[in-house]
């Protein structure tokens, strides 16, 4: 998993049917956890707010681990870090 900070969200009205009801959060990945990309879009099942540090799971874990195995999801917020200020 990687850790990032939630900095916003994007809206998609026309989307895959099995994505309806999901929020698409913009997550700024901590610099030393970046594989190149500075940002990733992740669905949020935990209720993370802007500015919170979150744990993001990628790949099949994001679908299956959130109970959405048939949805086209490859990244999900799966936890909120209690104190992320020292991590950057």
Residues in contact with a copy of itself by the rule CB under 8 A: 1-3, 10-16, 18-19, 24, 30, 32-42, 45-47, 55, 57-66, 69-76, 78-84, 87
Minimum distance, C-beta of residue 86 to a copy of itself, in the bound complex (Å): 9
Provide φ and ψ at 56, rounded to 5°.
-115, 130
Minimum distance, C-beta of residue 60 to a copy of itself, in the bound complex (Å): 5
Which CB sits closer to a copy of itself, 50 or 59?
59
Minimum distance, C-beta of residue 51 to a copy of itself, in the bound complex (Å): 15
Q: Which two tokens stand for residue 53?
A: 């540090």
Q: Which two tokens stand for residue 21?
A: 């009801």
Length of the chain: 88
Nearest to 20 by CA among 28, 30, 12: 12
């Amino acid at each position: 998993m990687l850790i990032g900070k939630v900095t916003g969200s994007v809206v998609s009205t026309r989307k895959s049917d099995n994505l309806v009801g999901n929020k698409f959060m913009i997550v700024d990945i901590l610099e030393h956890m970046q594989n190149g990309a500075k940002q990733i879009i992740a669905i949020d099942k935990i209720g993370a707010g802007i500015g919170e540090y979150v744990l993001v799971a990628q790949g099949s874990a994001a679908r299956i681990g959130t109970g959405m195995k048939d949805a086209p999801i490859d990244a999900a917020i799966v936890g909120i870090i209690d104190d992320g200020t020292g991590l950057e």
